[in-house]
């Protein structure tokens, strides 16, 4: 490939306000003080930042408000080296509050209605692109996936925990367009109606060529063109779990675009997610490509 690999990331973007080092959730009318807090770009901005940091030329196709929060978010994305040419400036910026406690996190969020990004995606596809990472739950996901498919550009679908959507026909209608599918164990079980994640992985693998299921502390399992592989989790002290799955998927895809083998992709992605949870903010602790190649023991500048 004579040029650097390029990707489009299509999905909602948030201002993430992150509370960490919480002892417990507050009761109604109560205030609980935390040991650490910050803000960071959230939602699909995490994947876009990480892909760009890993040397993949990335366009974020999303909506961001024209309000003060939106201006701050756009400025932060630009400082990360991301182009905002494909960002639609809407009325309001999405906000999410992440609460980290007991080794996990909960999120409260506001999402402004998303505009149809298909024309923006088409324009970017015509300029040349190697991958579209798409929120499966985006209201215009099918038209975006169809546009990428028509241009012979691989589509990576990312799931999230919305039970009504996961059992809907709308999700399964996206599978024929997809090359990659990322989900966790509860999502895989719900989508397939199975109680065993290995059987669920097999069913998903019949629909999508490359399926990756994250398993938390048990690591990750993948089924790629009929090949099954498991990789253990990387040890990590969790400060903020927000965006760990986004960092994982982006790192895996960056490695796939550079034609690394399956075990290296999984090893790099698992390690990158473990680095990310050590700091507050989904992309804050995510590695760059030199970090990944050092972890994998590749030659400097490899691929």
Q: pLDDT value at position 3?
A: 63
Q: In whole angstroms, what is the distance from residue 71 CA to residue 78 CA?
A: 11
Tokens (6 digits) for 92: 């309001």
Pick from 241, 231, 228, 239: which is nearest to 273 by CA? 241
> For residue 101, is it within any domain?
no
61 vs 196: CA distance, rounded Å: 36
User: What sign for the dihedral angle of Cα 28, 31, 36, 38?
Assistant: positive
Classify residue 63: in a domain, yes or no.
Answer: yes
- Asked if the structure places residue 30 within a domain, the reply is no
Kindly calculate the radius of gyration of the chain based on its CA atoms and give it in whole angstroms. Answer: 18
- Give a yes or no: residue 149 inside a domain: yes
Q: How far apart are CA 133 and CA 114, in angstroms?
A: 17
**pLDDT the model gives residue 302:** 52
Domain with residue 292: its CATH number is 3.40.1190.20
The closest of 44, 95, 39, 57 to 246, measured between CA atoms, is 44
Cβ count within 10 A of residue 30: 8
pLDDT at 156: 98
Bridge partners (DSSP) listed for residue 98: 18, 107
Q: Examine residue 99 and state whether it is found in any structural domain, yes or no.
A: no
CA dist 138 and 230 (Å) reads 29
Number of domains in the chain: 1
Cα separation, 36 vs 101, in Å, equals 12
Would 270 be classed as within a structural domain?
yes
b/e sequence 135-170, b meaning 16+ C-beta within 10 Å: bbbbebbbbbbebbbeeebbbbbbbbeeeeebeeee
Provide the residue range defining the domain that includes 59.
Answer: 6-14+42-93+114-296
Query: What is the secondary structure of 90-134 as a DSSP string?
Result: ESS-EEEEEEEETTEEEEEEE-PPPPP-HHHHHHHHHH--SEEEE
Any idea how long the chain is?
Answer: 303
- 34 belongs to a structural domain: no
In DSSP terms, which residues pair with 96 in a beta bridge? 16, 109
Scanning the chain, the segments in alpha helix (DSSP H) are 44-53, 68-79, 118-127, 141-150, 163-166, 169-172, 185-192, 197-207, 244-257, 262-276, 289-296
Residue 104 lies in a domain: no
pLDDT in tens, the chain (303 residues): 446 789 999 999 999 999 988 888 899 999 999 998 999 999 999 999 999 999 999 999 999 999 999 999 999 999 999 999 999 999 999 999 999 887 778 899 999 999 999 999 999 999 889 999 999 999 999 999 999 999 999 999 999 989 999 999 999 999 999 999 999 999 999 999 999 999 999 999 999 999 999 998 889 999 999 999 999 988 887 777 788 899 999 999 999 999 999 999 999 999 999 998 888 887 888 999 999 999 998 644 455
């Amino acid at each position: 490939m004579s040029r650097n690999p390029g990707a489009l990331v299509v999905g909602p973007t948030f201002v993430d306000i992150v509370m960490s080092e919480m002892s417990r959730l507050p009761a109604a009318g109560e205030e609980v003080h935390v040991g650490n807090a910050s803000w960071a770009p959230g939602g699909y901005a995490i994947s876009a930042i990480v892909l760009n940091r890993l040397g993949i030329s990335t366009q974020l196709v999303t909506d961001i408000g024209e309000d003060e929060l939106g201006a701050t978010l756009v400025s932060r994305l630009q400082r990360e080296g991301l182009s905002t040419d494909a960002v639609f400036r809407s009325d309001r910026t999405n906000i999410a509050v992440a609460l980290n406690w007991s080794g996990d996190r909960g999120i409260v969020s506001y999402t402004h209605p998303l505009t149809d990004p298909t024309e923006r995606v088409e324009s970017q596809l015509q300029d040349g692109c190697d991958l579209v990472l798409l929120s499966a739950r985006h209201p215009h996901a099918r038209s975006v996936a169809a546009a990428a498919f028509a241009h012979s550009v691989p589509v990576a679908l990312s799931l999230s925990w919305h039970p009504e959507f996961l059992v809907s026909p709308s999700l399964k209608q996206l599978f024929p367009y997809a090359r990659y599918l990322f989900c966790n164990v509860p999502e895989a079980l719900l989508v397939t109606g199975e109680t065993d994640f290995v059987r669920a992985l097999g069913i998903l693998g019949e629909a999508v060529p490359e399926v990756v299921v994250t398993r938390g502390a048990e690591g990750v399992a993948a089924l790629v063109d009929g090949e099954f592989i498991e990789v253990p989790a990387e040890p990590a002290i969790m400060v903020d779990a927000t965006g760990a799955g986004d960092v994982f998927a982006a790192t895996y895809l960056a490695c796939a675009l550079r034609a690394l083998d399956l075990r290296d992709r999984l090893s790099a992605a698992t390690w990158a997610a473990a680095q990310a949870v050590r700091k507050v903010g989904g992309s804050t602790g995510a590695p760059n490509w030199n970090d990944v190649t050092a972890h994998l023991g590749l030659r400097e500048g490899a691929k």
